[in-house]
C-alpha cells in the first residue's frame, strides 16, 4: 500500500533544459513541475507538495546553492539534486556539504539522473509508509488494551511485558481472530524498539514469487518487471521489529532464506550478490497447526525451532470464561461511541446467549456480533433478538464434533446443550412459549417441564408475547 508520489520540482532558467528534464521524467512515469527561478520554487514549495527538487546551480537571481540552503531550513525533508555545467570536484563537495543529496554535471546520461530520482522516490515512499505504520501501531500500544481477566489472559499479558524487554524471536500461535496481531503490536510497543519501525507483512496476502523481493528487496533487472532496485522490508525495519503474519503459508524455499536471516541477520536482495545485514527483531504468527505443517513437510522444523524462542498463545475465546462478557462490554462501549447510541448494558438473557456460544471466530466474531447488535437494538440494552442465531451457525459446522470437556459426563454435556438450544429458541420467539414449543415440535407442557428441569425461568411466565419486546430471562 504505497502512498501516491507527489511531483518533482525542476528549477532551471533555460527553457530547453526544463522541457527536456520534464520529458525525461515524464517518460519514466514521474510528474514534474517546472519553474525558472529559485524565488518561484520557494513560493511553490510553500503551497504544494514535492518529493524532490532538481535544480541548476547557476540561476538568474538567487543561485541553486542559496535555494539549497533555504530548503535545508524550510523543507529539510525534501531531497535536492544539484545540476551544474561546471564539473569540478570542489563544487561537488560544496553541493553535498550544503545538503544536496547528489550532484550531476552537464552533460549527464539520462540514466544517471533517473537513478538518483528513483532513489529519492523510494526514500519518499519508505518515509511515508513508515509514518503510516508508526501512527497505526501507536494506536495499539497498550498491553491493557488486551482485555481479559481469565487466568490465561493475565498470564499472557505478564509474559508480553517480560518478553518485550528482550530481543528474543517470538512465535504467536492461536486460532483466527484470537488476538495474535494485537499481541505482536503490544510486544513491539513495550520494547526498547518502540520508536523504531514496526513492519508487518502478511505472508498469505502476497503472491509467493513476490514475497521474497518484498522481504529482502531486489536489484534492478533481476526479474521481468524489476525496473528499479527495491529495498527489502527488512531494510526498512532496521533497528525495529518485523512481524510476519501467517508464516505457516510461506513457501519452503523462502523458509530457508528466512532461516539464514534469523541466524545472523544477513540476506541478499533478489538478483544481488552483496551480503547485507540488519538488526531486526522478528515476530511471526500463524493460525495453522504448525506441528501438523511440519509433519506434512510443509514447514521446516529447524525454522520452527528458530522462531519458537518464546511462544505466546492467545487462547480461544471459548476457553476464557467470563472474559466474553468483559469483551462484549468493551465493544458495546466502543460501538455506542462510534454509532452515537446510548445502549447502557447487555441483558441477562443476552449474556447467557453470548456465554453459551462456541465462538469459532473468537474475539473478531464477538466484535462483529456486538457491532451488529448495536445497529439492530432499539431498546437501551442488548437483548437476545439483536444477537445472531448461533445454533444455525453451529449446524453449519456440524462436521466439528463437540469435544466433551474433561470432568463432565455425557448427561451434563447433553443437558447444557439442551439448555442452550431452548434458550436460543426462546429468544428467537421473543419468549413466547407457544411459538417456542411449536418450533421445537413438543407440547407447551413438555417445554415447561424441560425448562423447570433445566432451571430456565422467564420473567413473563404467562407468556402472551410481551408487546414491549423486552424480556428478561433469568437462569438460576
Ligand atoms: N483481548 C482482546 N482485547 C480487545 N480486543 C481484542 C482482543 N483480542 C482480539 N481483539 C480484537 O479482535 C480483533 C481480531 O484480533 P486480531 O486481528 O489480533 O486476531 P488474529 O489472531 O491476528 O486473527 P487472524 O488469525 O485472523 O489474523 C481485532 O479487532 C482486535 O483488536
Ligand atoms: Mg492476524
Q: Which of 145, 181, 249, 312 to mutate for ligand 1's pocket (most ligand atoms within 8 Å of CB)?
A: 181
Phi first, then psi: give them for residue 460, nearest 5 degrees.
-90, 75
Taking CA atoms only, the protein residue closest to ligand 1 atom 18 is 179
Cβ-proximal residues to 169 (8 Å cutoff; 6+ apart), any chain: 262, 281, 282, 283, 284, 306, 307, 308, 309, 310
Distance in Å, CA 185 to ligand 2 centroid: 11
Give distance in angstroms: CA of 242 to centre of ligand 2.
14
From 156, 173, 182, give the residue whose CB has the most ligand 1 atoms within 8 Å, as the site to mutate: 182
- 260 band by pLDDT with thresholds 50, 70 and 90: very high
Q: Is the pLDDT of residue 467 over 50?
A: no
Pocket flag, ligand 1, residue 248 (CB < 6 Å): no
In this prediction, residue 4 carries a pLDDT of: 76
For ligand 1, say whether the CB of 177 is within 6 Å of any of its atoms.
Answer: yes
Taking the CA of residue 363 as reference, the ligand 1 atom at the shortest distance is: 12
Residues in the chain: 476
> What confidence score (pLDDT) does residue 152 get?
96
pLDDT for 153 beyond 50: yes
Ligand nearest to the CA of 179: 1
* 147 ligand 1 Cβ < 6 A: yes
Residue 105 CB neighbour total at 10 angstroms: 16
Contact yes or no for 217/235 (Cβ under 8 A): yes
Provide the percentage of residues in the chain whose pLDDT is more than 70.
88
Torsion of CA 112, 126, 241, 223, to 10 degrees: -50
**Atom 13 (ligand 1) nearest CA:** 364
Looking at the CA of 287, name the nearest ligand.
Answer: 1
- Closest protein CA for atom 5 of ligand 1: 146
Q: Where are the beta strands (DSSP E) in 21-129?
A: 32-35, 52-56, 80-84, 102-105
- Take atom 26 of ligand 1 and give the residue whose Cα is closest: 176
Ligand 1 centroid to residue 366 C-alpha, Å: 10
pLDDT at residue number 394: 56
Residue 393 has pLDDT above 70, yes or no: no
Domains and CATH numbers, the chain: 8-132 (3.40.50.2300), 141-312 (3.40.50.300), 319-475 (1.10.8.60)
> Which pLDDT does position 2 carry in this prediction?
47
Whether 10 and 38 have beta carbons less than 8 Å apart is answered as no
Distance CA 63, CA 387 (A): 70
The CB of 180 under 6 Å from ligand 1? The reply is yes
Least confident piece of the model among 34-43, 227-236, 372-381: 227-236
- Whether 455 contacts 465, CB under 8 Å: no
Specify the pLDDT at position 475: 30
Question: If pLDDT is split at 50, 70 and 90, which confidence band does 318 have?
Answer: very high
Q: Is 146 in the pocket of ligand 1 (CB under 6 A)?
A: yes
Q: Is the alpha carbon torsion for 163, 167, 168, 174 positive or negative?
A: positive
pLDDT interval class at 50 (50, 70, 90): very high
* Mean pLDDT, range 326-330, rounded to an integer: 97
Residue 368 CB–ligand 1 contact under 6 Å: no
Query: Please, are residues 234 and 275 in contact by the beta-carbon 8 Å criterion?
Result: no
Query: How confident is the model over 419-428, as a mean pLDDT?
Result: 85
Q: What are the grid coordinates assigned to 391, written together?
A: 445454533
165 Cα–ligand 2 center, Å:
23
Q: Is the pLDDT of residue 401 over 60?
A: no
Q: CA torsion, points 71, 75, 76, 82, in degrees to nearest 10?
A: -40
Return the C-alpha cell found at 308: 519458537
CB 380 within 8 A of CB 344: yes
Q: How many C-beta atoms lie closer than 10 Å to residue 325's C-beta? A: 15
pLDDT tens by residue, 171-201? 999 999 999 999 999 999 999 998 889 999 9
Residue 279 Cα, ligand 2 centroid: separation in angstroms? 24
Task: Indicate which atom in ligand 1 lies nearest the CA of residue 181.
Answer: 18
Q: Which residues contact 336 (CB under 8 A, 6 or more apart)?
A: 342, 343, 374
Average pLDDT over residues 390-409: 60
> Of 205-214, 271-280, 296-305, where does mean pLDDT reach its minimum?
205-214
State in Å: Cα 71 to ligand 1 middle: 44
By C-alpha distance, which of 86, 74, 6 is closest to 38?
74
Top-ranked range on mean pLDDT: pick from 18-32, 64-78, 442-456: 18-32
The answer to whether the beta carbons of residues 422 and 390 sit under 8 Å apart is: no
Decide if pLDDT at 461 tops 60: no
pLDDT value at residue 305: 96
Nearest protein CA to atom 31 of ligand 1, as residue: 182
Laid out side by side, the sheet with 52-56 consists of 32-35, 8-11, 52-56, 80-84, 102-105
Whose cell is 505482536? That residue is 184
Task: Determine the pLDDT at residue 415.
Answer: 83
Rounded CA-CA distance 375/172 in Å is: 33
Ligand 1 neighbourhood includes 174 CB (under 6 angstroms): yes
Residue 314: band (very low, low, confident or very high) from pLDDT cuts 50, 70, 90:
very high
How far is 21 from 26, CA to CA, in rounded Å? Answer: 8
Residue 203's pLDDT band (boundaries 50, 70, 90)? Answer: confident
CB of 364 within 6 A of ligand 1: the answer is yes
Q: Which tops the pLDDT comparison, 191 or 129?
A: 191
Phi, psi of 153 (to 5 degrees): -75, -35
Task: Find the mean pLDDT for residues 462-475.
Answer: 34
- Enter the C-alpha cell of residue 247: 508464516
Taking 50 as the threshold, does the pLDDT of residue 463 lie above it? no
The atom number, within ligand 1, closest to the CA of 153 reads: 1
Closest ligand to 148 CA? Answer: 1
Cell 509508509 appears where?
A: 129
pLDDT of 474: 32
Distance 335 CA to ligand 1 centre (A): 16
The environment of the single-atom ion ligand 2, i.e. residues with CB closer than 5 A, is 181
Amino acid at each position: 500500500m504505497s502512498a501516491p508520489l507527489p511531483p518533482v520540482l525542476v528549477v532551471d532558467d533555460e527553457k530547453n533544459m526544463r522541457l527536456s528534464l520534464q520529458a525525461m521524467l515524464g517518460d519514466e512515469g514521474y510528474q514534474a513541475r517546472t519553474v525558472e527561478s529559485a524565488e518561484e520554487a520557494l513560493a511553490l514549495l510553500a503551497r504544494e507538495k514535492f518529493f524532490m527538487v532538481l535544480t541548476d546551480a547557476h540561476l538568474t537571481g538567487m543561485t541553486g546553492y542559496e535555494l539549497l540552503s533555504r530548503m535545508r531550513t524550510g523543507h529539510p525533508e525534501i531531497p535536492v539534486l544539484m545540476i551544474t555545467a561546471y564539473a569540478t570536484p570542489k563544487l561537488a563537495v560544496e553541493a553535498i556539504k550544503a545538503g544536496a543529496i547528489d550532484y550531476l554535471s552537464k552533460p549527464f546520461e539520462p540514466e544517471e539522473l533517473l537513478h538518483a530520482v528513483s532513489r529519492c522516490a523510494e526514500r519518499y515512499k519508505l518515509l511515508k509508509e513508515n509514518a503510516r505504520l508508526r501512527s497505526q501501531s501507536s494506536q495499539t500500544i497498550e498491553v491493557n488494551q488486551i482485555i481479559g481477566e481469565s487466568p490465561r489472559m493475565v498470564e499472557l499479558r505478564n509474559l508480553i511485558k517480560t518478553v518485550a524487554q528482550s530481543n528474543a524471536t517470538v512465535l504467536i500461535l492461536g486460532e483466527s481472530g484470537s488476538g495474535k496481531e494485537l499481541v505482536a503490536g503490544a510486544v513491539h510497543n513495550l520494547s526498547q524498539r518502540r520508536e523504531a519501525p514496526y513492519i508487518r507483512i502478511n505472508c498469505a496476502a502476497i503472491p509467493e514469487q513476490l514475497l521474497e523481493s518484498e522481504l529482502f528487496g531486489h536489484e534492478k533487472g533481476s526479474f521481468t518487471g524489476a525496473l528499479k532496485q527495491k529495498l527489502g522490508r527488512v531494510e526498512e525495519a532496521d533497528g525495529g521489529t518485523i512481524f510476519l503474519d501467517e508464516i505457516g503459508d510461506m513457501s519452503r524455499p523462502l523458509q530457508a532464506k528466512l532461516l539464514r536471516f534469523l541466524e545472523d541477520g544477513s540476506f541478499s536482495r533478489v538478483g544481488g550478490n552483496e551480503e547485507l545485514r540488519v538488526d531486526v527483531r522478528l515476530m511471526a504468527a500463524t493460525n495453522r497447526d504448525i506441528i501438523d505443517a511440519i509433519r506434512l513437510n510443509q514447514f521446516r522444523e529447524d525454522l520452527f525451532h528458530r522462531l519458537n524462542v518464546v511462544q505466546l498463545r492467545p487462547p480461544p475465546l471459548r476457553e476464557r470464561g467470563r472474559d466474553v462478557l468483559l469483551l462484549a462490554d468493551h465493544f458495546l462501549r466502543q460501538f455506542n461511541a462510534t454509532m452515537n447510541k446510548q445502549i447502557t448494558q447487555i441483558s441477562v438473557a443476552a449474556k447467557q446467549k453470548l456465554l453459551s456460544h462456541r465462538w469459532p471466530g473468537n474475539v473478531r466474531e464477538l466484535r462483529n456480533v456486538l457491532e451488529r447488535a448495536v445497529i439492530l437494538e432499539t431498546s437501551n440494552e442488548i437483548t437476545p433478538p439483536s444477537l445472531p442465531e448461533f445454533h444455525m451457525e453451529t449446524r453449519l459446522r456440524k462436521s466439528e464434533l463437540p469435544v466433551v470437556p474433561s470432568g463432565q459426563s455425557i448427561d451434563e454435556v447433553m443437558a447444557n446443550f439442551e439448555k442452550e438450544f431452548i434458550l436460543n429458541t426462546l429468544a428467537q420467539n421473543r419468549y413466547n412459549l407457544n411459538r417456542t414449543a411449536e418450533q421445537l415440535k413438543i407440547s407447551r407442557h413438555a417445554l415447561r417441564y424441560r425448562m423447570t428441569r433445566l432451571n430456565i425461568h422467564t420473567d413473563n411466565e404467562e407468556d402472551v408475547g410481551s408487546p414491549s419486546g423486552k424480556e428478561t430471562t433469568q437462569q438460576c
